[in-house]
Amino acid sequence: MNLKALVPFRDRQTLARPELNVFGPLQREVDRLFDEFARGFGTLAVAGNGSLMPSMDISETDKEFVITAELPGLERKDVEISLEDNVLTIRGEKKIEASPDDKNKNVHVSERSYGVFYRVLELPGKVDPASVQATMSKGILKITIPKPAQPESKKIEVKEAA
């Protein structure tokens, strides 16, 4: 079996003819950095500080905010959601799936990410924690947050002083 076929081909520039431009090495390095940066936009990407960052969508209707997050490979028990002082925290952990056969394995490429992640969102207005609902299905976490009731304006009549 050819092991080179299993390893991703990263350096496309080696097949090109040598650069005559003095900025060629700099250009290749910038291209490499952009390639690595673009690779980080997967569903559970690794952020610059080494932590995992789930991809999220946040939408709003007249009555509620809806937050959806992609958490592939995770189950409900792997995710914690808390709301304190209008700050919503989504925390979870993606663990390595180990089996007894792993001791005899030689891993050639490992691109999957594991570890603890969290996302923190500040919510507008005062939200009642009891009204927040969260569901998870097929690796998609959906959090529904009802908007707080807006206080109604009231016209106050000015009376003659006694």
The domain of 29 spans 20-96+111-146
134, containing H or E segment = strand 133-137
Q: pLDDT by residue for the chain (162 residues), tens digit each?
A: 444 444 454 554 555 555 567 777 888 888 878 777 666 555 455 554 445 678 899 999 989 999 999 998 888 999 999 998 888 999 998 888 777 777 778 878 877 778 888 889 988 878 888 899 999 999 999 999 998 777 778 888 898 887
The pTM of the whole model exceeds 0.75: no
Number of independent structural domains in the chain: 1
Contact of 66 with 101, CB cutoff 8 Å: no
In 44-114, the DSSP E strands lie at: 44-46, 52-54, 56-60, 64-70, 79-84, 87-94
Asked, for residue 64, whether it belongs to a domain, the answer is: yes
Asked, for residue 6, whether it belongs to a domain, the answer is: no
Interior angle at CA 114, CA 108 and CA 116, nearest 5: 160
Q: In what order do the strands lie in the sheet with 56-60?
A: 56-60, 64-70, 140-146, 133-137
Q: Which residues lie across from 67 on neighbouring strands?
A: 58, 143
Asked, for residue 5, whether it belongs to a domain, the answer is: no
Amino acid present at 39 = R
Q: What is the CATH number of the domain that holds 88?
A: 2.60.40.790
